[in-house]
Structures are given as structure tokens and as C-alpha cells.
Structure 1
């Protein structure tokens, strides 16, 4: 099974060099943040960072939730292209698609820890 997380973020100009976000771009970015703005999905992503290629059952045990609830959240992440599913025999394993997601999770957590209460 291919377990490598790829960096599919193509090289982009520095944020300071980009033109101001326009409507469609801002909407797309907002949609991405909305998908990530869910405690369960963040916990699932963190579990996948710590242990790539987990099944729904394994993820359910990690986050302490019912399998169906985790499956529903995984489907949202798959639909957005953040996570992919890989079938191995009777099992489906999930993995993060791109290292950009890991970096974003790490930076978001860092920011949260550094902000005053």
C-alpha cells in the first residue's frame, strides 16, 4: 500500500506578493477553513498525522467516537480532497493527501497555544 504523503502544494508566490484575494478565491479558502473548523475532523487529522493509514475502526478508537460518526467526518474530508481512502482487501484505510494540511494543522495549533487566554 502506498503510504507516502505527498507535497502537492505547487510552488506559489509569497503571500505578501499575491494580489488581494478576490471573491471566488476567498470563498474557496473560506470553504477549506470551514471543513477544518470542526473539532472532530481536527482530531481525526491529528490521529492520521500520528499514525497514517488507519481504518475507520482504528480512528474511532483513537478519537473515542462511534464508527459511523467518524466515517461521516472522514467522508467530508475525502470529498474536499484532504484525506483519501485506500482499499486493502476488506479494509479501507485513510491517509492525509498533502503535507500542506499537516503544516496548517501544526501552525494553527502553535497559534492557539501562543495566543493569550
Structure 2
């Protein structure tokens, strides 16, 4: 007679930070995918640092064509990391603080959990 182990008894550990749900993971994967490009990472950093820079200032900072910068900004906007507003003929961008805070809380919580777990 083979005894089956009681997996539920072994796996009952409480996590200081609950793991992501599938839905949360899918949503966050899109954000991390948007941040996975060095140009986009630099763009979000510049936008967050300077408050609400004009697209003309962002374009000047890179040795890339304006349409390429526009594409990267579109990806960041689609991921919910930045917002834009038109002022005359120029578009200004700003970081979405709530989205950046969400990422910060997630990473900080996961890092704290990793430090607390025996390894």
C-alpha cells in the first residue's frame, strides 16, 4: 500500500506579501515589457526626473529619429506609465505616479519577502 503525502499540510506557509494573481501578473508583465527596452527606461527616468518635459526636449536627448522616440513614448503610454497633454503644437509628458508607486511597492515587497525567507 502506497501512502500519498498530504501536500496541503506541507504547503501551508503564510507569505508576508501575497503572490501575484494570474491577472496581476499579466498586467504587470506588460509594464515590465515596456520597461525592458533601454531607450524606454531612459525616457521614463527623464520624464519622472524633469516633471513634464516637452517631446522636443526628449527627442534632442537621443541620437534617434523622432518617429522612433514617438513609438517608445506610445509604448510607455499604452502601459500606463506616462500621460501626455498638448500645449500648442508640442506634447508634454508626465509620469503616472500611481503606476510607478505600484511597481515600487511590488518590488519592495518581493525583495523584503526574499530577504525574510530562509535560503
TM-score by length of 1: 0.65
Greater Cα radius of gyration, structure 1 or 2: 2
- 8 Å contact kept, 1:47–1:62: no
* Residue 49 of structure 1: how far off its partner (Å): 2.3
CA RMSD of aligned residues (A): 2.6
* Residue 25 of structure 1: how far off its partner (Å): 1.9
Match of 1:6 in 2: none
Match of 1:16 in 2: 16
* Residue 99 of structure 1: how far off its partner (Å): 5.6
- 8 Å contact kept, 1:54–1:94: yes
* Residue 47 of structure 1: how far off its partner (Å): 1.4
- 8 Å contact kept, 1:48–1:95: yes
Corresponding pairs, count: 92
Matched position secondary structure for 1:94: strand
The 5 Å alignment of 1:49-88 reads 49-88=48-87
TM-score by length of 2: 0.64
- 8 Å contact kept, 1:41–1:73: yes
Aligned counterparts of 2:81 and 2:31: Cα–Cα separation in 1: 9
Matched position secondary structure for 1:54: coil
* Residue 100 of structure 1: how far off its partner (Å): 5.0
Matched position secondary structure for 1:64: coil
CA gap 1:43/1:17 in 2 versus in 1, 3 angstroms: closer
* Residue 54 of structure 1: how far off its partner (Å): 1.6
Aligned counterparts of 1:43 and 1:91: Cα–Cα separation in 2: 20
Structure 1: which 5+ runs fail to align? 1-14, 108-117
Q: Structure 1: which 4+ aligned runs deviate by more than 3 Å?
A: none
